[in-house]
Amino acid sequence: MSGLAGKIALVTGASRGIGQAIARRLAKDGATVAIHYNASVDAANETVAAIAAAGGNAFAIKADLSERSGATSLAADLCAELTKRYGSPAFDILVNNAGLGKRATIEDISEDDFDLLLQTNLKSPFFLIKALMSHLRNGGRIINISSMGTRSAYPTMAAYAPAKAGLEALSRLLAVHLGGRQITVNSVMPGATATDMNIVARDPVASRAVAETIALGRVGQPDDIARVVAFLASDEAGWVTGQQIDASGGQRL
């Protein structure tokens, strides 16, 4: 895999879980990484420090992507920080990882719930891409983190899965729209992954039942997803675009 030396990446929701693993892996491969966070400032600073201790480069940037103004605020702050550091807002890799989940059937989803999940999981990535598109270098990468819940029916993902399905549709059409600039756009679909958002997958006992639904016989770890994202961010993935990459270990095939 080609290194990412000289590349600049923004990873949203990067202070913990899958986002943190992605940020650390991209930094390990040589990229300078903007660590987006909302409330977890200590975790974000610890992630930056861990990357620096490993010889990488990173900085933290705050924005609330559950708010309508969050994406434009993040884009403006990122451009200002990159201009301050490097004299230009240009960057190379955008990973839309930040998300919000609520396990509930349609009977228990309020309109406020729906609006919040749609804002965080679809609208903010949409408008972040729109705000940053002109600053993404030709040959850049957009990687959207979706969910295997878009291909397998989970009634308790009544609002979450439709929002993520919208993100996948956006990825496909942007692959065509941005193809002339050699920018690739793909979505990654994690399955059960041991993070704060998936308590069952983190529980050593409860996760055994989940593992029985996975072809490879275990729940995922954040690093499993980070490796897939690192490939899509690399030069080797330059001929892969408009794809939904299942990274579930073969869950519920």
Catalytic residues: 160
Report the distance separating Cα 172 and Cα 217, nearest Å.
31
Report the distance separating Cα 170 and Cα 241, nearest Å.
12
Residues 6 or more apart whose Cβ sits within 8 Å of residue 198: 192
- SS3 at position 143: strand
Asked if 38 and 245 touch (Cβ cutoff 8 Å), the reply is no
**C-alpha 125: how far from its chain's center?**
9
Residues 6 or more apart whose Cβ sits within 8 Å of residue 100: 66, 116, 117, 120, 121
Report the distance separating Cα 152 and Cα 144, nearest Å.
18
Q: Tell me which DSSP letter residue 64 carries.
A: -
Q: Which helix (H) or strand (E) holds 32?
A: strand 32-37
What is the residue type of 73?
Answer: S
Backbone φ and ψ for 191, nearest 5 degrees, come out as: -100, -150
What is the residue type of 110?
Answer: S
Asked if 211 and 200 touch (Cβ cutoff 8 Å), the reply is no
